Amino acid sequence: MPIEIRVPMLAESVVEATVGKWLKREGDRVSVGEPVVELETDKVNAEVPADAAGVLQQILRTEGEVVRPGDILAILQESEALATDVQTAKATEEADGRATPVARKMAEELGIDLREVRGTGVGGRVTREDVQAYARLRQQVEESVVQKAEEEPVPPTVSMPSPPTVSVPSARAETRQRLSRRRLTIARRLVEAQNTAAMLTTFNEVDMSAVIALRTKWKERFQQQHGVSLGFMPFFVKAVIGALREFPQLNAELQGEELVLKHYYDIGIAIGDPEGLVVPVLRDADKMTFAQIEQAIAGFVEKARNRTLTLEDLQGGTFTITNGGVFGSLLSTPILNPPQVGILGMHRVQERAVVVDGQIVIRPMMYVALSYDHRVVDGREAVLFLVRVKQLVEDPERLLLEG
């Protein structure tokens, strides 16, 4: 009995997705609940499982194709007899069975034997790009042979034989990669942020001596008690919340001609991901302890690594913190995360010579950057906000006491 594998309802705000990668090929056996295909959405990737056990009879949507909830992705056949028929058909098709329909049609038009084409698709399947690459290579080889035949032979010397002259086509290799839906969304939102907001950035530097001393004193006990290490992020989360309380227009959203001030603190934490930056949200971060912040961030990193972040993890947020320092960045200009009007950029800690009480001393310093929407935040407030963050981070015991 044939069973249709359809695009599930993804989320309230997600109306379409892109077919990312087929995890099974036509003719493969599939167990109940086993992922068959991966879909890419604006925010997260989602695997579509099989509702029944059987054999994947037909794939109807190719990788890179845009689909919507309810669209049929593939046909699954529960019958054991059909499973045998599919395997037999694949065996008789030789190389054709491991090629996409588009690749087979292109190969037929170009007179290419698919058995000679190396597949780079899922399970070694031959794709359109593989056929195109083979056709280009074949043309280069043919041109090389013709050019070599037209050349006069060069007689080798007796004492020092010369290597044969071979004409190499002057072609440089290129690889085309389809951008994931997440990368396309990131690109669109970054351009949107620059085109819709009057974005400015102000900078300052923070003496990290007190934070580093506090971490050194308590890191072992903190690790033993809470199961996570004590990093810099909880200090900055708490300092940002303290500054947001004093400058609430940075914890706001511009809606038409109204500024919506948020009286809660959902802090987005930017996390690097192989497919692009993701920003999961610490909800009610003002009510979280240092340990809870570190545990939540560790959970987000693990989810990002396993590609299990949910839309709920990523939605919302009133202000964002990004730490380019973990990648070695000394100074950068963070871009706003719309519709938020402020984002704080942390950077690498570097020992520098600074003047303290008229004396030149070596201190571990960090540059910090605040990008803000100048439509609703004046330069004065932005500078004072960043100064307040600096003051709070440089006095971490006060942060611990005040929570």
Q: What angle do CA 392, 393, 398 make, to 5 degrees?
A: 55
pLDDT in tens, 55-65: 998 999 988 88
- What does pTM read for this prediction? 0.64
Q: Nearest 10 degrees: CA dihedral of 109, 113, 117, 122?
A: 80
Q: Which two tokens stand for residue 378?
A: 């004046």
Q: Which two tokens stand for residue 268?
A: 């987005």
**Residue with the two structure tokens 């003719």:** 27
Beta bridge partners of 76: 3, 56
- Which of 390, 22, 1, 382 has its CA nearest to residue 202? 382
More confident residue, 291 or 130: 291
pLDDT in tens, 132-153: 877 876 776 566 545 555 555 5
Select from 1.10.510.10, 3.40.50.450, 3.20.20.150, 4.10.320.10 the CATH code of 100-151: 4.10.320.10
Q: Which two tokens stand for residue 352?
A: 């520098």
- Is the bond preceding 339 in cis, omega lying within 30 degrees of 0? yes
Confidence check: pLDDT of 308 > 70 = yes
pLDDT in tens, 266-300: 999 999 876 678 899 999 999 999 999 999 999 99
Q: Which fold has domain 2-92?
A: OB fold (Dihydrolipoamide Acetyltransferase, E2P) (2.40.50)
More confident residue, 2 or 154: 2
Identify the pLDDT of residue 259: 92
Q: Which two tokens stand for residue 358?
A: 């008229």
Amino acid (1-letter code) at residue 384: L
Amino acid (1-letter code) at residue 296: A
Instruction: Report the CATH number of the 199-402 domain.
Output: 3.30.559.10
Domain boundaries, the chain: 2-92, 100-151, 199-402
pLDDT in tens, 344-359: 999 999 999 999 999 9
- Which of 37, 43, 35, 38 has its CA nearest to residue 11? 43
Confidence check: pLDDT of 116 > 80 = no
Distances (CA, A) of 337 to 2, 124, 170, 344: 45, 39, 45, 11
| Lowest mean pLDDT, pick from 16-20, 96-100, 252-256, 368-372 | 96-100
Q: If you count DSSP H runs as helices and E runs as strands, how many of each does the chain have, helices first? A: 10, 17
pLDDT in tens, 211-246: 999 999 999 999 999 999 999 999 999 999 999 999
Q: How far apart are CA 287 and CA 208, in angstroms?
A: 24
CB 208 within 8 A of CB 347: no
Angle between helices 233-246 and 379-393 (to 10 degrees): 140
Catalytic annotation, residues: 374, 378
